[in-house]
Homo-oligomer: A and B are copies of this chain.
């Protein structure tokens, strides 16, 4: 495994990642990826045995990317409360992409549930990384009851926002829902006004 080959492998994964997000997995061909990376179709099979293997690499890369992102959040934000707000603001920061392509994690799981069920268990680990991180933040705030349910609720709320924003291409809805989700965090989870 030379360094040049590894670098190309990485470029393939990055290109596939973007295309899978923008066009969907099934709808993205080797030709599409080859055009972006600037290589020939035949060259893929030196780096990957099949298209499924590319998908596997993309999922692994996404999971690693989410973990890195959360590590950076932890470094940048010392207060778990601020981290939770930053999580809720994520759709706001990515609103244009969500309007156009939805949530990368949610839309991939939705596609794989229909087209490639065998890989769904790999894909939903992307959710699990967020989930486990949310649980840690809640525990740090002294919240220990129903934390798993709360974390999953967070994720589902963000997914609902992403789907409707994408279906109606409506960023106003996204903005108003993010506000409402913050209010829920304040009133029902942190109970700022009551403690």
Contact = CB atoms under 8 A, between A and B. Distances in A.
Interface in A139-195: 149, 152-153, 155-161, 163-164, 166-169, 173, 176-177, 180
- The main secondary structure of chain A at its interface with chain B is helix
A114 to B, nearest CB: 4
A157 B110 CA distance: 16
A107 B180 CA distance: 24
Contact of A173 (B114, B152, B160, B168): B152
A117 to B, nearest CB: 9
Interface of A: 22-24, 26-27, 100-102, 106-107, 109-111, 113-115, 120, 123-124, 127, 149, 152-153, 155-161, 163-164, 166-169, 173, 176-177, 180
A152 B102 CA distance: 17
B163 A27 contact: no
Given A114-B101, A123-B167, A167-B106, A177 B161 contact: no
B167 A109 contact: yes
Nearest to A99: B113
Contacts of A111: 24, 110-111, 114
Query: Within the oligomer, what is the number of copies of this chain?
Result: 2
21 contacts: A23-B114, A24-B111, A24-B114, A27-B114, A27-B115, A100-B113, A102-B110, A102-B114, A106-B163, A107-B110, A107-B113, A109-B167, A110-B110, A110-B167, A111-B111, A124-B168, A149-B176, A152-B173, A155-B160, A156-B164, A160-B160
A127 B168 contact: yes
Contacts of A163: 106, 109-110, 156, 159-160, 163
